[in-house]
Chain A
Amino acid sequence: MFDTPKPSAKTLVSVRGLKMYFPIHTGILRRHTGDVKAVDDVSFDILEGETLGLVGESGCGKSTCGRALIRLYDITDGSIMIDGVDVGQMEQDALRPLRPKMQMVFQDPQASLNPRLTVAEIIGEPLVEHTQLTKPERLKRIYELMDAVGLNRRFANRYPHEFSGGQRQRIGIARALALNPRFIVCDEPIAALDVSIQAQVVNLLEELQDRMGLTYLFISHDLSMVRHIADRVAVMYLGKMVELAPRDALYDAPLHPYTEALLSAVPEPDPSLESSRQRIILKGDVPSPANPPKGCNFCTRCPKVMPICREVEPAFRELHPGRFVACHLYDETQQTPTAGRTGGVEAQSTPVQQGENG
């Protein structure tokens, strides 16, 4: 059902209409007066063995999306199929046995490790909960994992605060790997690290992916790093996905004006090119996710805004095979030649986006 550049790969994670609203309670009676729409109707697929990069500016809902995906939140609406099981509306208790399949590497390697547990206890804890390993077997597995992420075995009885940031992130990765997951959400795993360490950790993640056939959702605001690691890239703005495309296509020819603006902000290492780089400076602030604008979420800052953008919300649809965008610039009514070519295909394939009329 999903058009992919790699027809052999099957879909591992399939998200449809994911909504994560955080209620706002105000007044003396703390009545429910509104919602922060952190993730608002997002749909996408992640193929087995690929890395899907998820980018966007701060507060756009990337991390919430990642956490909701492995059900660290009770989501407001939508379905999340992971390896054929719909975990979207599952109770947390029923979900627990499925946790080994989906894991997460967190942004802050200091805060995400319990300061009172040793490294061995941190890595070994999920093994106690989810496996029947005996103590020596468990220790063996802990050592294996420490080897896999490049941590010295002698460190097993040390506490997290005794490590550097990069080492702590390795502990976090080892912990995530402990139960042989198939899908890992990497929530800005390198944002808190030194630049020199970032490359090490990203390379480690890539190496582990090759070795264990892992599937990543790689959340980051570092566009260069996403370009390096991701196979496909999704761009979020104010709780909605605005564009999803294979990496090279997206970086070479972004479709959505927001993606264009975002990519124009990436510094160019070559000074001669850097001087001629055209930056698209967006005016104004991101609207509040509690009160998004009518029509397209980006209409308040879009350089190519049209009257329709302020009225009608654009649908997130597949423009070319594998390239999704939510923008009125590519509406059928003002077809570009390329859009017309794929128009017929769109009509037949089940649209990914539901619930909204473009």
Chain B
Amino acid sequence: MLTYTIRRLILAIPVLLLISLIIFMLLKLAPGDPTAQMPLTIPPDVKEKMKEAMGFNKPLLVQYALWLRQFFIVEPLHWCDVLFGTHFATGLQRIISWQTRSPVFDIIWQRIPQTLTVVGMSYLIGVLIALPIGIVSAYRQYSWFDQIGTFVSMVGFSVPTFFTGVLLIVIFSVELGWFPSIYDTTLVVHDWASFAKQVRQMAMPVAVLALYNAAQISRFMRASMLDNLHQDYVRTARAKGMGERVVVLVHVLRNSLIPVVTVIALGVPTIFGGAIITEQVFKVNGLGQLLITAIYADDVPMVQTLTFIFAILIVLFNLVADILYGLLDPRIRYD
């Protein structure tokens, strides 16, 4: 298993390099001018100089290599300096956002907590409600519970989050006034009152995303349970005289979880990716919102870095899913 993991990690390097090249080239192909948003009063020759300062006139390969150097060498060295008080990165140019002129990673670091609390919590809640729903739906297939569960997941799956989000805002903020429609990032949780406020402002975005996640995962769980419920070994377990709880929770569930756990692991990168639309609707200034505003502003370094981080996470969690599969299913051995 260890050799397998190391081999996969080594194989991930060329994969990621290729992805980084594709991201870089795609962004170069995209139309847009980072100085387009600037006031028209700036003379064209000054704009040209600004572009030159951004490195626009260098050959593409040089630009690509410089970005890679910043991403893989300068940034890690900088974190090393911050953590251990060394001075490796002094004088080296970090990746700078064209919008704010501050380092891209600093901005990302500021945005991660919002995304993790809102999107991460919604994923967690989604999984926690999806698993029991999937289990019960499969065990009582075609019962009322199953029919309602199927209906709700179809709704959660097919109704887009920008619709459910706005619908919730209209009902619970505008009509009932229970929850705020805008997420207040400046809120600091220091006592019970502010904690309650935090819970209230998280409730709606979390509910919207949790419905979406739960819809997907509960279907996986149900299908996987149904696959296993009619297996011969389940009949064997009943013939052994095991109680129904043991049969379902030990024999069926443990085997059914194998594919579901990998699906859940594969979904984790989407947490970090943020929920672009939902974050927009509720004004959560997380990573998704950061990405979309960077796209609007032609902030190439920011878009490039964010998409590449998502790519790294996806490659990484694919590996995690494969390793989990191997750990959970004794029939699968990678060595």
Residues of chain A whose beta carbon lies under 8 Å from any beta carbon of chain B:
30, 67, 70, 72, 92, 96-100, 103-104, 106-108, 111-116, 125-126, 129-130, 159, 161, 172, 175, 178-179
Which chain A positions have C-beta within 8 A of B246? 129
Complex Cα spacing A106 to B233, Å: 9
Give the chain A neighbours of B331 by CB distance below 8 A: 115, 159, 161
Kindly supply a per-residue 1/0 record for chain B positions 227-244, scoring 1 wherever the CB is within 8 Å of any chain A CB and 0 otherwise. 000011101111111111
- Whether the Cβ atoms of A114 and B241 lie closer than 8 Å is no
B239 touches A115 (CB 8 A): no
Say yes or no for B330: interface residue by CB 8 A criterion: yes
User: Does any Cβ of A come within 8 Å of B255's Cβ?
Assistant: yes
Other 11 A-B pairs with CB < 8 A, given A115-B330, A115-B331, A129-B246? A30-B142, A72-B235, A96-B241, A106-B235, A111-B232, A112-B235, A113-B233, A114-B251, A115-B233, A116-B330, A126-B242
A106/B232 in contact, CB under 8 A: yes
Q: Does B254 contact A (CB under 8 A)?
A: yes
Chain B: minimal CB distance from A150 (Å): 20
Smallest beta-carbon distance A254→chain B, Å: 33
Find residues 28-52 in chain B having any chain A CB closer than 8 Å to their own CB: none
Find the A residue at minimum CB distance from B257: A116
In the complex, what distance in Å separates the CA atom of A126 from the CA atom of B331?
23
B255 close to A115 (CB less than 8 A): yes
With A106-B232, A106-B236, A111-B231 as contacts: A116 and B329 at CB distance below 8 Å: yes
Do residues A125 and B240 form an inter-chain contact, with CB atoms below 8 A?
Answer: yes
> Using Cβ atoms and an 8 Å threshold, which residues of chain B touch A107?
232
Would A108 and B241 be within 8 Å (CB), given that A116-B255, A116-B330, A159-B331 are in contact? no
Cross-chain contact of B232 among A92, A112, A179 (Cβ < 8 A)? A112
**What CA separation (Å) do A107 and B255 show in the bound complex?**
21
- Residues of B within 8 Å of A116, CB to CB, are 254-255, 328-330
Q: Contacts A72-B235, A106-B236, A108-B232 known; A115 to B329 CB distance under 8 Å?
A: yes
B235 engages A129 (CB within 8 Å)? no
B254 / chain A contacts, CB cutoff of 8 Å: 116
Whether B243 and A96, one on each chain, are in contact in the complex, defined by CB atoms closer than 8 angstroms, is yes
Residues 299-335 of B, flagged 1 when their CB comes within 8 A of A and 0 if not, give 0000000000000000000000000000011110000
Expressed in whole angstroms, the minimum distance between the Cβ of B334 and any Cβ of chain A is 15
A161, B330: Cα distance in complex, Å: 9
Q: Cβ of B236 and Cβ of A70 under 8 Å apart?
A: no
* B238 & A129 in contact (Cβ 8 Å cutoff): no
Given contacts A114-B251, A115-B331, A126 and B233 within 8 Å (CB-CB): no
Which 5 A/B pairs are nearest by Cβ-Cβ distance? A99-B241, A111-B232, A112-B232, A126-B240, A114-B233
- Chain B's closest residue to A100 (CB) is B241
B251 touches A70 (CB 8 A): no
Q: Considering residues A97, A108, A114, which has the most beta carbons from chain B within 10 angstroms of its beta carbon?
A: A114
Cα separation A111 to B251 with both chains bound (whole Å): 13
A-B contact pairs, 22 of them (CB 8 A): A30-B142, A92-B244, A96-B243, A103-B240, A104-B239, A106-B235, A107-B232, A108-B232, A111-B232, A112-B232, A112-B236, A113-B236, A114-B236, A114-B237, A114-B255, A115-B329, A116-B328, A116-B329, A126-B242, A129-B240, A159-B331, A179-B241
Inter-subunit contact A111/B233 (CB<8 Å): yes
Partner of B243, one of A98, A112, A114, A129: A129
B254 to A, closest residue via Cβ: A116
CB proximity of A128 to chain B, nearest CB, Å: 9
Measured in the bound complex, the distance between the Cα atoms of B21 and A123 in whole Å is 55
For A126, give its contact among B231, B241, B328 (CB under 8 Å): B241
In the complex, which residues of chain A have a beta carbon less than 8 angstroms from the beta carbon of B238? 72
Complex interface: chain A residues within 8 A of B239 (CB): 70, 72, 99, 103-104
- Which residues from chain B contact A70 at a C-beta distance below 8 Å? 239
B240 nearest in chain A by CB position: A126
CA distance A98 to B240 in the complex (A): 10
Q: What CA separation (Å) do A125 and B232 show in the bound complex?
A: 16
Cα distance A99–B244 in the bound complex, in angstroms = 13
Q: How far is the CB of B254 from chain A (nearest CB, A)?
A: 6
Complex interface: chain B residues within 8 A of A125 (CB): 237, 240, 242
State the Cβ distance, B326 to closest chain A Cβ, in Å: 13
* In the bound complex, CA of A97 to CA of B240 (Å): 10
Best-surrounded residue of B233, B235, B241, B246 (most CB of chain A within 10 A): B241
Question: Which A residues are CB-close (under 8 A) to B243?
Answer: 96, 129
List of A residues within 8 angstroms of B242 by Cβ: 125-126, 129
CB pair B236 A130 closer than 8 Å? no
Question: How far apart are the CA atoms of A126 and B237 in the complex, in Å?
Answer: 8
Q: Which A residue's beta carbon lies closest to that of B242?
A: A129
CB contacts (< 8 Å) of B255 on chain A: these are 114-116
Q: Inside 8 A of B329's CB, which chain A residues have their CB? A: 115-116
CB of A113, distance to nearest CB on chain B (Å):
6
Among B240, B243, B251: residue with most chain A CB under 10 A: B240
Q: How far is the CA of A311 from the CA of B321 in the complex (A)?
A: 64
Most buried by A among B237, B239, B328: B239
Query: Which chain B residue shows the least CB distance to A104?
Result: B239
Most buried by B among A67, A111, A175: A111
- In the bound assembly, the distance between CA atoms of A99 and B246 in angstroms comes to 15
Contacts of A104 in B (CB 8 A): 236, 239
Give the distance to chain B from A48, nearest Cβ to Cβ, in Å.
Answer: 21
Which residues of the partner chain A approach B231 to less than 8 Å between Cβ atoms?
Answer: 111
Distance in Å: Cβ of A224 to nearest Cβ of chain B: 26
Tell me whether B244 and A175 are in contact (CB under 8 A).
Answer: no
Closest to B235 in A: A72
**Whose C-beta in chain B lies nearest to the C-beta of A99?**
B241
Q: Give Cα A72–Cα B331 distance, bound, in whole angstroms.
A: 28
Query: Min CB distance, A203 to chain B, in Å?
Result: 23
